[in-house]
A and B are shown apart, each in its own frame.
Chain A
Amino acid sequence: MSAPDLGQLERLARRARYLSCAAVAQAGAGHIGGPLSCIDLLVALYFRAMRVRPQEPDWPERDRLVLSKGHAAIGLYSVLALRGYFPVGELRSFDRAGSRLQGHPDMTRLPALDASAGSLGQGLSFGLGLVLAARLRGSSARTFVLLGDGELQEGMVWEALHLAPRYRLGRLVALLDANRLQQYGWPGSRTEERRDPWEGVPLPEIFTALGWQVRETDGHDFSQILAALAGVQEVPGEGPPQLILAHTVKGKGAPFAEGRYTWHSQVPSQEQLEQLRSALELTEAEVAW
């Protein structure tokens, strides 16, 4: 497969957005806001940045992805399906009994997954272990860990943030999906609004002070995302751990959900799905599953 260009990446992300919402609608349960904020990052990773073999998911030299914000699972599944790890139709089994596509990722069920997740704040530590293992094996594989800004409230994340620079794990890449909303959070200035959980906190400066090399990007602009990912690929294995702070919008792309904390987990109606397809300018063929 030749690498998709910016336009194709954009198209893939739109399809993944639709499939995620459609799978949640079909299951009658699931998350919307978190998956939609990180889908562009996931598309850029799986279609451009990561060295992977979808037909050989346990290839030892593959790059790994740890979805620390495990509630975004359906976003990851949609991208994995489009990338060819399993048929797109399998998304219909999302959240069903016996499914490989659990509400939160289960690596023991789906070979494409490099980690289990669901309890927030654990992924960076797991990824740190994967990168350390790769170094000890003499492998140059990278591990990408996708974190939410809400889950940054978990203390365990800071344990890992403190430790990774000590071991100079240059092939550990944390991507922070900073969508500035969490499930409920704190009241904002207006009714129906919630506050950015890290308002007034200089996160990039803090990560830098801890020893991470920080890049910032618009998390929905593929040219910026790819530039940030290209930057981390040049870092040597003994370099500082890498952090990409991606400014994103919760519910991005869905007119009914964008920027609304109430859409952290909600089920779209058939009308909303149709509204979504139209907003994403997708053809019937593109949304067939």
Chain B
Amino acid sequence: MSALRDVWAETLIELAEDCPHLLVLDGDLANSTRADRFALAYPGRFFQMGIAEQNLMGVAAGLAHGGFIPWLSSFAVFFTHRAADPLRMLVAQTGANVKIGAAYSGLLTGYTGKTHQDVEDLAILRAMPHMTVLAPMDGPECREMTRWATAHPGPVYLRLARDPVEGPAFPREPLSGQPRLLREGDDLALVSTGPQSLRCWEAAELLARRGIQARVVHLGFLKPTDQPALCAALQGVPVVVTAEEHSVLGGLGGLVAELLSAQAPRRVLRLGLEDTFGESASNQELLELHGLSPQRMAQRIESEMLR
């Protein structure tokens, strides 16, 4: 099973031949993000920008306004935090055709801890006008989203997880921009994004053994949100649970709570980091610690449902 970063890099190489304006700019992390594969395949279209993410973002905006499609390679946290201002002013405000390959997004960043875990990126980018924010759950969706982002005119942020995620192989679906129903169920709806959606599917399987039927909805297109489609996907369940590798503030949980409070009020339980920084640990330990493993999610949901 390949990791999203592998699929991303391979897709860029696939795209490069038919898309001569596609470039890759790296912030000295290509051998982590897998952009090094692109550097080998297309050395004349790969630009090392050094350890200077603000400049990386600014150069990308200039290249985009000069007619190119720069894909950026670094860790999510350095794009959305270190380079937040040039991202906001040079890329988002101007609508620059810059594509951000946000590697090592979310909580599971390979024993790197609080500095590298970007658990606020969705909160920042949801509030940033002109941005498109995507979080694929698996390899096939990552490939489609990388292709879609390259063709889409305007800035796109693509959340890429570091490690392969075990889970069922869902049938490949054409990208629609709409939420995707991974599992039927009417006792509650479990909404997630990125690879956490696969863990939610597992949690739903555990809940089913306890007699609780959870609907699982994957929202890969976080911004812009197809609000009518998301409301429709959440119809008919008394409780909605969100789960994300992100703070419970301002991310997917915020998105769902904001939408439902206005359109179809329901109890919303938000699972994620409780306004805290991460730490270095194994993926399994981190998922347990923050209540995001399938078992911990199932337990929490069951206890909430019995309340």
Contact = CB atoms under 8 A, between A and B. Distances in A.
Nearest to A154: B54
A162 B52 CA distance: 10
Contacts of B52: 156, 159, 162-163
A163 B57 CA distance: 13
A163 B56 CA distance: 10
A156 B87 CA distance: 13
A43 to B, nearest CB: 25
B67 A133 contact: yes
A276 B235 CA distance: 68
B66 A116 contact: no
Given A116-B89, A118-B89, A122-B90, A129 B50 contact: no
Given A119-B85, A132-B66, A156 B61 contact: no
Contact of B65 (A117, A118, A124, A129): A129
Contact of B58 (A107, A136, A160): A160
Contacts of A131: 62
A132 B63 CA distance: 7
Contact of B55 (A115, A116, A143, A163): A163
Nearest to B45: A136
A125 B58 contact: yes
Given A129-B62, A132-B59, A116 B54 contact: no
Contact of A162 (B50, B59, B60, B70): B50
B54 A125 contact: yes
A130 B55 contact: no
Given A156-B86, A163-B49, A163-B50, A122 B65 contact: no
A127 interface: yes
A164 to B, nearest CB: 10
A207 interface: no
Interface residues of B, number: 27
B261 interface: no
B58 A156 contact: yes
A122 B70 CA distance: 18
Interface string A36-53: 000000000000000000
Among A114, A116, A133, the most chain B Cβ lie within 10 Å of the Cβ of A133
B66 A130 contact: yes
A128 to B, nearest CB: 5
Contacts of B47: 132, 167
A69 to B, nearest CB: 14
B268 to A, nearest CB: 36
B131 interface: no
Contacts of B66: 129-130, 132-134, 136-137
B93 interface: yes
A125 B55 contact: yes
A130 B96 CA distance: 12
A155 B53 CA distance: 11
B129 to A, nearest CB: 11
A96 B225 CA distance: 33
Interface of B: 23, 47, 49-50, 52, 54-55, 57-68, 70, 85-86, 89-90, 93-95
Interface of A: 106-108, 114-119, 122, 124-134, 136-137, 143, 155-156, 159-160, 162-163, 167
7 contacts: A126-B58, A129-B65, A129-B66, A132-B66, A156-B55, A160-B58, A163-B50
